[in-house]
Amino acid sequence: MYPTDKLIEAVATADVVVLLLPLTPKTYHLFDHHIFSAMKKGTTLINLSRGGTVDEVALIDALNNGQVGFAGLDVFKDEPLGSESVFWEMPNVLITPHVAGDISDYLDRALNIFANVLADFRNGTEVKNRVDLDLGY
């Protein structure tokens, strides 16, 4: 909802920050010490996007100092999350095993999107939901 040049302003006033962004060279570690320090003390962070969008060392620091009060994490830089990760021991972290998108009608919806894309491709019309390789998503 916010362009990256407005990110500091957005996180500074948010009680909850939900990440739903692709992992690209521009979004790699986008959420770092700088962004976390701009957040209101005690902000909740939910990451449902890609693990690499968050600098995990910076997030651990922010969770330990209370800048981020709680984190719900469905994705990590390395998956599955290793048993040695400190995230497992943190009382202010909820970990889910990369299943946030596991919804009952997922397969039907995915197949419907695929069928529409295939029809567009075969008909020579503009393909919707096209991945732009330059953007990375």
**Spatial distance between the Cα atoms of 137 and 24, rounded to a whole number of angstroms:** 8
Are 75 and 117 contained in the same domain? no
pTM for this model (two decimals): 0.82
50 is a catalytic site residue: yes
Catalytic residue among 79, 84, 109, 130: 79
Are 80 and 27 contained in the same domain? yes
Catalytic residue among 29, 33, 34, 50: 50
Are 28 and 66 contained in the same domain? yes
The residue range of the domain holding 123 is 103-137
29 is a catalytic site residue: no
Query: In tens digits, what is the pLDDT along the chain, a chain of 137 residues?
Result: 677 889 999 999 999 999 999 999 999 999 999 999 999 999 999 999 999 999 999 999 999 999 999 999 999 999 999 999 999 999 999 999 888 666 788 889 889 989 999 999 999 999 888 888 888 77
Sheet holding 93-95, edge to edge: 16-19, 43-47, 68-73, 93-95
Domain of residue 78, CATH code: 3.40.50.720
Question: Could you tell me if 73 and 96 are in contact, meaning their C-beta atoms sit under 8 angstroms apart?
Answer: yes
126 is a catalytic site residue: no
Catalytic residue among 9, 56, 89, 98: 98
